[in-house]
């Protein structure tokens, strides 16, 4: 049927018109393969023939604070475990501000701001240079992990970071899925390991929220086979697969996280990526009810939220005071490999369209093939009151800006 339809469109010279109506053409898209060979899945990028409203939301209805960006990364690591202070910079403050000003983003939180001298370099390059526009977080450095004094060393580092001006602590999925008993060898360290208790408490003491990434989409824990809905994404990023080996299950990671939330009620936690389980909003909702110290943000998960728009809208209505706007944006070229996170005007416009419009069936990322899974999303048309909270009011309260 689709081939006949395409032939019919081509015959009547309508193909290009229809495609343009359904979706803007992208210059970088390669030509379709020709010949009789079976079409490979990688080459299949169907263009929707729906004639439906396309709302172009160039600016957000209210100013935005994006609580999840990565303008810097810790550069020094041991087999993927951050162990030093050297930083790599993905953008200058000025280049970032150009996008922010065009897209109505009044401030961003740069989560991976590093530690020690690295944090100082981040703060100099962003936060101190343009006060009020950039808020950087510190991260644990596991360089002293093997030192028996590590729990206190890390708690002291949090205190020093708070004094230097860090706005929060970022926990990468390294904890639970990367850090091992002998740093890179031995059993994986559990998310609720008691050696980290002083760190969580120091965050409470210095009023630093913890931006926590624990676990990943459920499909990352399953075999990469013909039933895996993130087959394309795992094919592009095989290192994101946590199937087999000695990795804990998604449920085990969530249970360990819950024990941390329960043990540190004074510490504010932001569960990144919709509480690490955007496929299961019932579970995230229950977690928010169970733990008053938990909040969530949206980074890199509008693909999940937007394919269940009715459930997602109820989630926003119920938890409107505890959801932050976030994108997980990484500037190009570092962000090129993850189109759902690339720090560009186009990315922000998709988020605004999702939150503000009731558009049908559109791309959740600026890419020819939906990069996380082969589906499209629907807008949830949030009312002004909720939009204002999600766009900036909740973040202002969290960061102590209001």
One residue of 77, 139, 328, 359 binding Zn ion per CB under 5 A: 328
Task: Pick between residue 192 and residue 328 the one whose CB is nearest to Zn ion.
Answer: 328
Task: Pick between residue 35 and residue 333 the one whose CB is nearest to Zn ion.
Answer: 333
Minimum gap (Å) between residue 56 Cβ and Zn ion: 27
Minimum gap (Å) between residue 111 Cβ and Zn ion: 6
Minimum gap (Å) between residue 169 Cβ and Zn ion: 14
Contact set for Zn ion, span 265-284 (CB under 5 A) = none
Task: Pick between residue 328 and residue 363 the one whose CB is nearest to Zn ion.
Answer: 328
CA distance 22 to 65: 31
Minimum gap (Å) between residue 71 Cβ and Zn ion: 11
Task: Pick between residue 350 and residue 386 the one whose CB is nearest to Zn ion.
Answer: 350
**Interface characters, 61-100, with Zn ion (x: CB under 5 A):** ----------------------------------------
CA distance 386 to 22: 30
Secondary structure of the chain as H, E, C letters? CHHHHHHHHHHCCCHHHHHHHHCCCCCCCCCCCCCCCCCCHHHCCCCCCCCCCCCCCCCCCCCEEEEEECCEEECCEECCEECCCCEEECCCHHHHHHHHHHCCEEEEEECCCCCHHHHHHHHHHCCCCCCCCEEECECCCHHHCCCCCHHHHHHHHHHHHHHHCCCCEEECCHHHHCCEEEECEEEECCCCCHHHHHHHHHHHHCCCCEEECCCCCHHHHCCCCCCCCCHHHHHHCHHHCCCCCCCCCHHHHHHHHHHHHHHCCCCCEEEHHHHCCCCCHHHHHHHHHHCCCEEEECCCCHHHHCCCHHHHHHHHHHCCCCEECCCCEECCCHHHHCHHHECCHHHHHHHHHHHHCCCCCECCCCCCCCCCCCCCECCCCCCHHHHHHHHHHHHHHHHCCC
Instruction: Extract the tokens encoding 157.
Output: 């580092």
Instruction: Extract the tokens encoding 207.
Output: 């009023």
Contact set for Zn ion, span 245-264 (CB under 5 A) = none
Minimum gap (Å) between residue 68 Cβ and Zn ion: 6
Specify the stretch interacting with Zn ion by CB under 5 A; choose among 14-22, 52-60, 162-170, 326-334: 326-334
Task: Pick between residue 253 and residue 382 the one whose CB is nearest to Zn ion.
Answer: 253
Minimum gap (Å) between residue 309 Cβ and Zn ion: 24
Kindly give the pairing relationship between strand 185-188 and strand 180-182: antiparallel
Specify the stretch interacting with Zn ion by CB under 5 A; choose among 11-19, 283-291, 322-330, 385-393: 322-330
Task: Pick between residue 127 and residue 328 the one whose CB is nearest to Zn ion.
Answer: 328
Task: Pick between residue 213 and residue 353 the one whose CB is nearest to Zn ion.
Answer: 213
Instruction: Extract the tokens encoding 401.
Output: 């800006």
Specify the stretch interacting with Zn ion by CB under 5 A; choose among 102-110, 245-253, 320-328, 368-376: 320-328
Minimum gap (Å) between residue 366 Cβ and Zn ion: 18
Minimum gap (Å) between residue 273 Cβ and Zn ion: 8
Minimum gap (Å) between residue 15 Cβ and Zn ion: 39
Minimum gap (Å) between residue 367 Cβ and Zn ion: 18
Q: Within its chain, how far is the Cα of 151 from the centroid?
A: 28
Specify the stretch interacting with Zn ion by CB under 5 A; choose among 71-79, 184-192, 225-233, 323-331: 323-331
Task: Pick between residue 328 and residue 359 the one whose CB is nearest to Zn ion.
Answer: 328
359 contacts Zn ion (rule: CB under 5 A): no
Q: Which residue is nearest to Zn ion (CB)?
A: 328
Specify the stretch interacting with Zn ion by CB under 5 A; choose among 134-142, 174-182, 250-258, 324-332: 324-332
| Sign, Cα dihedral of 285, 287, 292, 293 | negative
Kindly list the residues in this chain that would bind Zn ion in the complex (CB under 5 A).
328
């Amino acid at each position: 049927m689709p081939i006949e339809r395409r032939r019919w469109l081509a015959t009547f010279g309508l193909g290009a018109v229809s495609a343009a109506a359904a979706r803007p053409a992208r210059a970088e898209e390669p030509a379709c393969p020709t010949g009789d060979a079976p079409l490979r899945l990688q080459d299949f990028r169907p263009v929707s023939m729906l004639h439906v409203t396309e709302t172009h939301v160039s600016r957000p209805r209210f100013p935005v604070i994006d609580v999840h960006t990565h303008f810097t990364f810790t550069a020094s690591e041991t087999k993927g475990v951050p162990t030093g202070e050297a930083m790599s910079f993905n953008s200058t403050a000025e280049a970032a501000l150009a996008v922010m000003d065009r897209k109505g983003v009044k401030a961003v939180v740069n989560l991976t701001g590093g530690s020690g001298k690295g944090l100082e370099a981040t703060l100099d390059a962003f936060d101190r240079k343009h006060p009020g526009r950039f808020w950087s977080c510190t991260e644990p450095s596991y360089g002293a992990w093997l030192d028996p004094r590590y729990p206190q060393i890390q708690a002291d580092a949090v205190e020093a970071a708070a004094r230097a001006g860090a706005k929060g602590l970022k926990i990468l999925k390294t904890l639970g899925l990367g850090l091992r008993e002998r740093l890179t060898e031995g059993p994986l360290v559990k998310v609720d390991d008691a050696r980290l208790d002083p760190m969580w408490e120091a965050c409470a003491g210095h009023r630093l929220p913890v931006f926590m990434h624990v676990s990943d989409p459920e499909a990352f824990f399953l075999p990469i086979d013909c039933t895996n809905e993130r087959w394309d994404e795992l094919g592009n990023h095989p290192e994101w697969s946590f199937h087999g080996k000695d990795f804990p299950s998604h449920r085990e990671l969530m249970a360990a996280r819950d024990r941390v939330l329960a043990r540190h009620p004074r510490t504010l936690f932001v569960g990144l990526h919709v509480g690490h389980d955007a496929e299961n909003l019932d579970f995230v909702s229950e977690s928010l009810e169970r733990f008053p110290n938990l909040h969530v943000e949206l980074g890199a998960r509008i693909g999940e939220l937007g394919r269940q728009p009715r459930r997602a809208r109820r989630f926003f209505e119920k938890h409107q005071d505890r959801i932050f706007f976030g994108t997980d944006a990484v500037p190009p070229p570092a962000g090129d490999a993850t189109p759902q996170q690339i720090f560009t005007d186009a990315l922000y416009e998709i988020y605004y369209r999702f939150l503000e419009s009731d558009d049908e069936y559109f791309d959740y990322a600026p890419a020819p093939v939906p990069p996380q899974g082969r589906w499209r999303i629907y807008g949830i048309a949030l009312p002004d009151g909720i939009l204002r909270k999600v766009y900036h009011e909740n973040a202002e309260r969290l960061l102590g800006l209001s």
